[in-house]
């Protein structure tokens, strides 16, 4: 998830995010720390990172092609942070992209 191996300087390390393989997919787990909370609620930006990273890692199969997010919307209710937030990705369809025809 990062080229920087130190947990002190990597985004997943600072957010206390861990990854594991679940069946054919990847799951990311966030254990909320005080740094990612506002008034006891997980910051929307941290949840957006969790969602974006989960999908991006699942889609990134070709080292010669960039995968990037062009549109991401996230709606959150302001509820107290759970002990663990999980993110998983299911690819519904492959093959569509935002590149122009060549």
Find, among 9, 81, 84, the residue nearest to 43 by Cα. 81
The proportion of the chain whose per-residue pLDDT surpasses 70, expressed as a percent, equals: 82
Other CB atoms within 10 A of residue 22 CB: 10
32 pLDDT band (50/70/90 cuts)? Answer: very high
* Radius of gyration (C-alpha) of the chain in whole angstroms: 15
Look at residue 7 and tell me whether its pLDDT is greater than 60: no
Look at residue 8 and tell me whether its pLDDT is greater than 90: no
pLDDT for the residue 48: 93
What average pLDDT does the segment 18-35 reach?
89
| pTM, full prediction | 0.76
pLDDT for the residue 89: 85
Summarised one tens digit per residue, pLDDT across range 44-69 is 999 999 999 988 888 787 888 777 88
């Amino acid at each position: 998830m990062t080229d920087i191996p130190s947990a002190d300087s990597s985004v997943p390390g600072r957010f206390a995010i861990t990854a594991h393989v679940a069946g054919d997919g990847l799951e990311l787990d966030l254990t909320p720390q005080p740094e990612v909370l506002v008034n006891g609620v997980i910051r929307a930006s941290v949840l957006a990172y969790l969602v974006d990273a989960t999908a991006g890692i699942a889609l990134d199969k070709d080292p010669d092609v960039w995968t990037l997010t062009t549109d991401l919307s996230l709606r959150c209710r302001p509820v107290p942070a759970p002990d663990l937030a999980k993110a998983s990705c299911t690819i519904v369809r492959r093959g569509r992209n935002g590149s122009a025809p060549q």
